[in-house]
Amino acid sequence: MDTTLILILLPLLVVFSYLFDSFARKTKFPSVILLILTGLIARALLDAYGFTPWGALEEIIKVLGTVGLILIVLEGALELEITPERIGLLVRGFLAAAVLLIANVWLVSWILESFFELQHQAAVIHAIPLSIISSAVAIPAASGFSEKDKTFVVYESTFSDILGILIFNYAIRQFEAAAPLLGVSPLTTLGVQLIGIIAISVGITFVLFKLLQRIKHNVKFFLILSLLILVYAIGKYLHLPALVTIFIFGLILSNSNYLLPPFLRKNSPKEQLDKEIASFHMLTAESTFLVRTFFFLFFGFSISLSSLSSPSTYLFAALLVGAMLLLRYLYFSLSKLSIKPSALSYHAPRGLISILLFFQIKELKSPNFQSDFIDQNLLLLVILISIGLLLFGTLKPTQAVVPVEDTIEDHLDIEIPDFDTLERDEEDPKKLTP
């Protein structure tokens, strides 16, 4: 392809993604759907002219997905504020992510075994990606929620990403070793590994933070991001849950006043530290936007519309999403003691991590993990249906909540005088004057 044409197309795609994102903020329509549909339409047009996709397209998607995964987890961790007031909300988000993830894996794997006749190992391995909430979609879509619900979505979706990948890698290791998923020995080993990786992650975080303090060069944030990607790649090569390192780094950095020891903070004034963390957060958010744009565009481009013509694929996708929606409704009904479905009951989109793990499944050598029926076409429909349900829940009418401290002055534009400073008018005792 001509270089000039590429230089025209790439900026245009970024501009379109920005417009999609702006449209999503105003209408609450997820920009991810627009990106995927743009890729699908582009593929359909090129198919009509006899274009054959590059062989490297799948590799590009996997690389973009991995980098996007690191950035999304890092950005989500940077948004997690651990304060005494939010501890309860954090625990609720973690419990919702853990309980719903495990329940979904159990139910979806049972459906895949019962209706699709998959072997147990293949059913479990495919059920895990389908059960993970995408924070890349869930967090932006929660912008219209109350502050409490929005914070809950950040906690739940971020923990769902982390726990989902941990369970996925754990299940693969157990199946490859012909060992049971549940047992005292494997779970103890997993616990020891997690404690070890957390300790190592804290050490790496302290080193990176010290490096962040000492670097005086204008370019230092991309260096930190590159080192984080390197740490993740080394951890993945050694079959360690390196994503925990990314999460802990972002969590400690965003809560440096609480989690960093004084000897690390003493050389950096609080104002300067907050400014640098804010700059790093902005860089991470913009990098995430760019990577996410091309990932979903290329994913949509990799799928031919002719492969989505089977009615059974739509039926099975609706069945899977319906089962997961039922579990989510039951969880929030029991936890809130209310049978009326809230917007959170619909807020469980699938996305980037599900796609990325499906590509990893295709690379597994054991035939016990493979399935010809559960492919990226079914995955695409599950993603689109789950995002459609999210849109339905987001657009449900909600009553706007006005903060108590700014109810009158900010929203009615009335200035309230300080009654402690009022004095009585000498001519009219009934009149108070400032």
pTM recorded for the entire structure: 0.79
User: pLDDT, tens digit, for every residue of 349-379?
Assistant: 888 888 888 888 888 877 778 777 777 788 8
Q: Indicate the pLDDT class of residue 423, thresholds 50, 70 and 90.
A: low
Residue 433 lies in a domain: no
Which of 128-132, 145-149, 244-248 has the largest mean confidence?
A: 128-132
3-state helix, strand, coil in the chain (%, to 5): 75, 0, 25
- Residue 432: what pLDDT? 47
Residue 12 lies in a domain: yes
Angle between helix 147-176 and 87-114 (nearest 10): 50
Using alpha carbons, select from 75, 231, 100 the residue that is nearest to residue 156.
Answer: 100
- Residue 102: what pLDDT? 93
- Residue 77: what pLDDT? 81
Average pLDDT over residues 24-47: 80
Residue 314 lies in a domain: yes
- Residue at 177: amino acid letter: A
Residue 73 lies in a domain: yes
User: pLDDT, tens digit, for every residue of 81-129?
Assistant: 777 777 888 889 899 999 999 999 999 999 988 887 888 888 899 999 9
57 contacts: CB under 8 Å, gap ≥ 6: 298, 301, 302
Average pLDDT over residues 153-161: 86
Q: Is the dihedral of CA 163, 131, 369, 71 positive or negative?
A: negative
225 contacts: CB under 8 Å, gap ≥ 6: 71, 283, 284, 287
- Residue 291: what pLDDT? 86
Q: Indicate the pLDDT class of residue 422, thresholds 50, 70 and 90.
A: very low
**Taking the C-alpha atoms of 242, 245, 248 and 252 in order, what is their torsion angle to the nearest 10 degrees?**
-170
Residue 190 lies in a domain: yes
Residue 432 lies in a domain: no
Residue 160 lies in a domain: yes
User: pLDDT, tens digit, for every residue of 235-275?
Assistant: 878 777 777 888 888 888 888 777 777 766 666 667 777 78
Give the pair of three-digit tokens for residue 123: 């059913």
- Residue at 231: amino acid letter: V
Q: Indicate the pLDDT class of residue 132, thresholds 50, 70 and 90.
A: very high
Q: Is the pLDDT of residue 214 over 60?
A: yes
Residue 405 is classified by DSSP as: G
User: pLDDT, tens digit, for every residue of 8-31?
Assistant: 888 888 888 888 888 777 777 778
The range of the structural domain enclosing residue 174 comes to 3-427
Average pLDDT, the chain: 79
Using alpha carbons, select from 323, 345, 340 the residue that is nearest to residue 394.
Answer: 345
User: pLDDT, tens digit, for every residue of 163-192?
Assistant: 888 888 888 888 888 887 777 777 887 788
Q: Is the pLDDT of residue 331 over 60?
A: yes
Q: Indicate the pLDDT class of residue 402, thresholds 50, 70 and 90.
A: very low
Q: Is the pLDDT of residue 217 over 60?
A: yes
- Residue 399: what pLDDT? 41
Domain count within the chain: 1
Q: How far apart are CA 157 and CA 134, in angstroms?
A: 6
Residue 424 is classified by DSSP as: E
Residue 333 lies in a domain: yes
CATH number at residue 46: 1.20.1530.20
Using alpha carbons, select from 219, 124, 226, 222 the residue that is nearest to residue 170.
Answer: 124
User: pLDDT, tens digit, for every residue of 297-329?
Assistant: 888 887 777 667 778 888 888 999 999 999 999
